[in-house]
Amino acid sequence: MSTDNAANAVLEIDLGALVGNWRRLRDRLPPGAICAGVVKADAYGLGMAAVAPALEAAGCTLFFVSQLAEAVALRRLLPQSEIAVLNGLLPGSEADFVAHRLIPVLNDLGQIAAWRGAGGGRKAIIHVDTGMARLGLPPSELARLAADKSLLAGVNLRAVMSHLACADEPAHPQNARQLAAFRAATAVLPAAPASFANSSGIFLGADYHFAIARPGAAVYGVNPLPGSSNPMAQVVRLKGRILQTRDIDTGNCVGYGSTHRRECPGRIATIAVGYADGWLRSLSNRGSVAIAGQRVPVVGRISMDLMTIDVTALDPQSTRPGGFAELIGPGNDVDAVAAEAGTIGYEILTALGRRYHRVHTGGAA
Ligand SMILES: *Cc1c(COP(=O)(O)O)cnc(C)c1O
């Protein structure tokens, strides 16, 4: 059942705003630089099948995913664009990369050797670790690669990349350290387009831009400048259905664990969104939702399918069952919800529930 009438909650994804965000990021880069699109984890939970074609229609030609299976699904959507796989080449997966014309991001010398073995001068990206200790060639392997160019014979080097650990903290000294290490790495490797910046990295200044940027979160509306005003447009809006309302007396309690006890009489409305929909349980007794433009607090624990809000201050006409409460929207954006939950916007987006009625607006797709 996917009609609006029957939906317990509706997730609106504004593809026009999303594409506008991507263009805004691209326009910060120097002429000729490539603004890639990072669409891993189902486009940060917003739906790769809708997002990737919309970005391609806007001029994006290079896409990053994390996993081979994501890349195979993306290849079906985008027959022409370049698709790179950040998690690299798992042993035995070379033939799949070849068959689907995928670009592996090679993270160690073993993967580079395996890709040479796959033959044919195929494209690959080399990932150099410049201080994150997560993926990419460690300094010792970079030195061996620099000393023996034959290790790259038969590899069409599409790019050399690295990833910033602290890009969302512009004053963090790790940024400049990684920049220096990245410059040193590209200097000892064969000439290739360099790729360094994620969303926040694009805002660290021109030194960080290089030939290819890889923004994800900011395309989806997450603030790349935490603590400053968000230069990106909001992309998602989430509305949950009001299922029931009730009067409640002083001394009565709401929800599991009886964590919200009434100090005065009031009214409670129950909304059809819970932690199984990605409305994190850490949002229990935290934050607020909007009904008819007025903000009201969440009270009691978030349960699997339901949450409860205090609507005492509202006109009962506005809280009738079947109406909607806005959980994510202009007055309560993804970053604000994340702050209440003690997490980051990335996690709120990628947790967004599979059973929301999803509506894509504003795009050609
Ligand atoms: C996820 C990821 C990105 C995108 O990062 P955002 O902060 O979402 O812009 C870029 N590069 C790598 C290696 C990543 O893992």
- Give the Å distances, CA to CA, from 182 to 145, 163, 175, 276: 15, 9, 10, 41
All structural domains of the chain with their residue ranges: 15-220, 236-343
The domain defined by 236-343 folds into Lyase, Ornithine Decarboxylase; Chain A, domain 1 (2.40.37)
Q: Is 40 a catalytic residue?
A: yes
What is the chain's Cα-based Rg? 24
Q: Is 239 a catalytic residue?
A: no
Ligand 1 proximity of 125 Cβ (cutoff 6 Å): no
Please report the pLDDT score of residue 119 as a whole number: 82
pLDDT digits (tens, 9 = 90+) for 117-130: 998 889 999 999 99
Residues 6+ apart with CB under 8 A from 92: none
Percent of the chain predicted with pLDDT > 90: 95
Q: What are phi and psi of 225, to 5 degrees?
A: -125, 70
**DSSP state for residue 39 in the 8-state scheme:** -
- Nearest ligand 1 atom to alpha carbon 40: 1
- Give the residue among 189, 79, 177, 197 at the shortest CA–CA distance from 130: 177
pLDDT band at 364 (very low <50, low <70, confident <90, very high): low
pLDDT > 60? residue 330 = yes
Assign domain 15-220 to its CATH architecture.
Alpha-Beta Barrel (3.20)
Strands 194-195 and 266-271: unpaired
Ligand 1 proximity of 163 Cβ (cutoff 6 Å): yes
Ligand 1 proximity of 341 Cβ (cutoff 6 Å): no
| CA separation for the pair 286, 259 (Å, rounded) | 12
Strands 357-361 and 253-254: unpaired
By three-state DSSP, how is residue 309 classified? strand
Q: What is the mean pLDDT of the chain?
A: 96
Q: Residue 334 has which token pair?
A: 């993804």
- Nearest ligand 1 atom to alpha carbon 198: 9
pLDDT digits (tens, 9 = 90+) for 212-250: 999 999 999 999 999 999 999 999 999 999 999 999 999
Instruction: Give, using CA atoms, the residue closest to atom 4 of ligand 1.
Output: 216
Ligand 1 proximity of 86 Cβ (cutoff 6 Å): yes
Using the mean position of ligand 1's atoms as its centre, give its distance from the Cα of residue 37 in Å.
10
Choose one of 86, 161, 235 to mutate for the ligand 1 pocket test, by most ligand atoms within 8 angstroms of C-beta: 86
Of the listed ranges 4-8, 40-44, 182-186, 299-303, the least confidently predicted one is 4-8
